[in-house]
Every structure is written in structure tokens, then in C-alpha cells.
Amino acid sequence: MNGTRIAFFAVGVVFAVDTVLLLGLITLKTVHRRRMERHDQRRSIYLGVLSRRLAFPLHTDYIDPEVARDGAFLDAVIDLRNTVAGPEIDTLAGIIDRYGLVKRQAARLRSRFPLGRRLRAAVSLAEMGDESSAPLLIEFLSDREPEIRIQCARGLGRMQHTPAIDAIIERFGKESPWVRSRFADTLVGFGALAAWPLLAYARVNHDYDDNAAVVEAIRVLGTIGERDIGPPLSDLLAKFRNPELKIAAIEALGYVGGPLAVTPLVAYMQDHDWRLRAKAANSLGEIGDPQASPALRLGLEDENWWVRRNSAGALAGIPGGLGILHEALHADDQFARDAAAEALADCGELGKARERQEQGQATAADLELLGFMIEDALVP
């Protein structure tokens, strides 16, 4: 009997505790929702006042200096900073300076705790900071918190502060892959301004630094697409020993190399590493120079499937390459025939051949392609 009473009592206690916790959670959510509603209301009011100030600089709407402490006012300023242009930016910058918003957020960023407030400060500075806050953002590129480092880099990229390029690149070898990739996104935003510093980083560190960091730097070069980087990147490729570095450089040359990169890329079509041959074929297709056609023709008969596939795909985009693919349908090598047929289908030639056949305008090459596809489908 005593055991039963104890059990019922325990159940009652658990139920009471769960009820209290549930009520507490509901209360907290209600309070938070109302707080956010009031925040949004104040934000809308501030947006109206600030918009009138920007439209009419001599407007007399009074703004209490204490609003600088209000997060809703900060949000309103950031919203406008991301939408206005021209003279209005200078007017808004004057308001930001007058109310000490940058200085206040800088002080919060320099504090050790709490993390949420520091992160909020970093985001705010990234959104509304100007050249005067750039040194602070560069300083906190080495902050202990990864997200704060990311926001600082983003802010420097937004304001296009070119002295920050070297500071961001210098962190490449020290960062985790996630942070490094976000830094890379920022450098892409700098465009051609970041190309030569990235090339210099790869040249200096490819034998000493973490290969992953140099690989990321080379990939950023390819994304930026600065054509003047092609020749020196080709020279640097010849010095690389690590396969991952070579793959990254070969891929980047497809975007920045131009015709001058065809010769070194063709040479890699004979490399013993099939990954390099496959990547070289793909990059030659990106360049689209007919000089690469003989090497790509040989690539159709490569022992590796990826090399054959990439060679065929590259030929599909090179002037005169479609003719080579049609010829390959008669090759003695079954794998070369299959690679050519797949590329012709992927680039739309098969669909065009069917349309011309339906219209009674099919060419001999169309009929050969259609016949090959039908025969290939019937053969087990």
C-alpha cells in the first residue's frame, strides 16, 4: 500500500513539474513574442524618422541620443544602409557618427562577454561600418570566435577595404575549412584586386603551408577569373608536386588561362594520374580552343572512363568538335563510341537529329547517330 501511495505521489510530482515547466515555456514565448513586436514597432518608427532625415537633410524631427542604446534603432540604420545610395549614404554616415553607433558597437566587440552581444556587434559593424572601423575589423580577424572572424571579413569585403586582402589571405593557413571557405567568398567579392595577392600566397606557401589553404586560394583565383593570372599560374603549375594543388591549378586555368594555357594543359592529357588527365580535358573544354582538338580526340580512347567522358564533353563545345564526335561513332574502340554518343546526347545533338528526322530533313550524320542509339539500346 505504501509503495502504491509513493508511486502515485511520484507521478503527481512529475506531472506538477511538467505543468510548471510547460507554463513557464509558454510564458517565455509570449514575453519574447511581445518583446519582438514592440521591437518591430519601434524599428518602423525609427525607419520613418530616418527616411525623412535622408530625404530632407534639414528636417527637424528630433531623435533622442539615447536611441543609440536601442537595438531597434540600430536595425533601422542597418536596413537603410543596405538600401540607400548616393548622397543619402553620406547623410546616413553623419547620423551614424553623430550618435556614436560605430563606437558603441566597437566597445561591445572588444568586451569578452557575452558572446551573443559580441557577435551582434560584429554583424552590425560588418553592415554599417566604414573605413574608420576597418582597422578594428582587421584586428578581430583573429578573434577566438569563428563567426566573429567571418563577420569581420565580410564587413571588410563590403567596404572594399583593399589593405584587408593580405590580412584575410594571411589567415588561410590558420583557419578551419568552414571559416576558410567563408573568407574565400569575401575575397571573391574583391574581384581582380585579390588576384595577385592570392597568386603570391600560392607561390610562397605551396611547399610549406597546409595544402588545403593553397588549394582554396587557387580555387578563388579560378572563380575571380582574372585573365592576366593565366601565364604565371601556368608557370606555378609546373612547380607543384602535390596532386591536389595540380588539380586545383588545372581547373583554375580553364577559367583564367585562355589560349596560352592550351599547351600546358595538353601536356597533362598524357599524365600518369587519370585525375589530372580528366581535369585537363575539362579545362580545355572551358577554354574552347580548337588547338586542343587532337589531344581531346585521343582522350576519347583513354583507359579511364572519366577522361573519355570529359574529353567528349569538351569536344562538344569546341568549334569542329561535333564532327570529331560523329566520326568517333565509327571508332574501333567501343568505349570511345559510347563516350561520343553520350556527349552528343548531352549537348542536344540527339534531340536536334530527331527533330530533323521528323521534319524529313535528317542528314547522314543524324541518321548515323540515331541508328547508333537504337542499335546500342537493343544490344544487351
Q: What is the dihedral of CA 254, 259, 260, 261, to 10 degrees?
A: 20
The predicted structure's pLDDT at residue 378: 41
What is the separation of C-alpha 98 from the centre of its chain, rounded to a whole number of angstroms?
Answer: 36
8 A C-beta contact, residue 297 and residue 320 = no
State the average pLDDT for the chain. Answer: 91
Per-residue pLDDT at 209: 60
Does the domain formed by 72-82+89-161 have CATH 3.50.50.60? no
| Rounded Cα–Cα distance for residues 177 and 157 (Å) | 19
pLDDT class of 373 with cuts at 50, 70, 90: confident
Low-confidence winner among 63-67, 72-76, 132-136, 273-277 (lowest mean pLDDT): 63-67
Alpha helices in 143-176 (DSSP H): 146-158, 164-170
pTM of the model: 0.85
CA-closest candidate to residue 156, choices 141, 177, 176: 141
> What's the fold here for domain 292-380?
Leucine-rich Repeat Variant (1.25.10)
Average pLDDT over residues 277-291: 97
| Predicted local confidence at residue 190, as pLDDT | 97
- Can you tell me the mean pLDDT for 68-74? 90
Residue 89 has pLDDT above 80, yes or no: yes
Nearest residue to 62 (alpha-carbon basis) of 98, 101, 104, 37? 98
Cα separation of 26 and 18, whole Å? Answer: 12
- Given this model, what pLDDT does residue 155 score? 96
Is the Cα dihedral 228, 229, 235, 237 positive or negative?
Answer: negative
Percent of the chain with pLDDT over 90: 74
> Do the first three CATH levels of 72-82+89-161 and 292-380 match, i.e. the same topology?
yes
pLDDT at 379: 41
Residue type at position 304? N
151 and 136 Cβ atoms separated by less than 8 Å: no
- With contact defined as beta carbons under 8 Å apart, do 318 and 293 qualify? yes
pLDDT digits (tens, 9 = 90+) for 99-132: 999 999 999 999 988 999 999 999 999 999 889 8
Kindly provide the b/e burial profile for residues 152-165, where b requires at least 16 CB atoms within 10 angstroms of the residue's own CB: bbbbbbbbebeebb
The pLDDT, as a whole number, for residue 279 is 98
pLDDT category of residue 10 using cuts at 50, 70 and 90: confident
Q: Which residue has the higher pLDDT, 272 or 50?
A: 272
Out of 83-87, 177-181, 225-229, 250-254, least confident range: 83-87
70, amino acid identity: D
Weakest mean pLDDT among 64-68, 238-242, 305-309, 331-335: 64-68
Q: What is the DSSP letter of 191?
A: G
345, HSE (Cβ side, Cα atoms, 13 Å) = 13
Average pLDDT over residues 152-165: 96
> What are the sequence ranges of the domains in the chain?
72-82+89-161, 162-256, 292-380
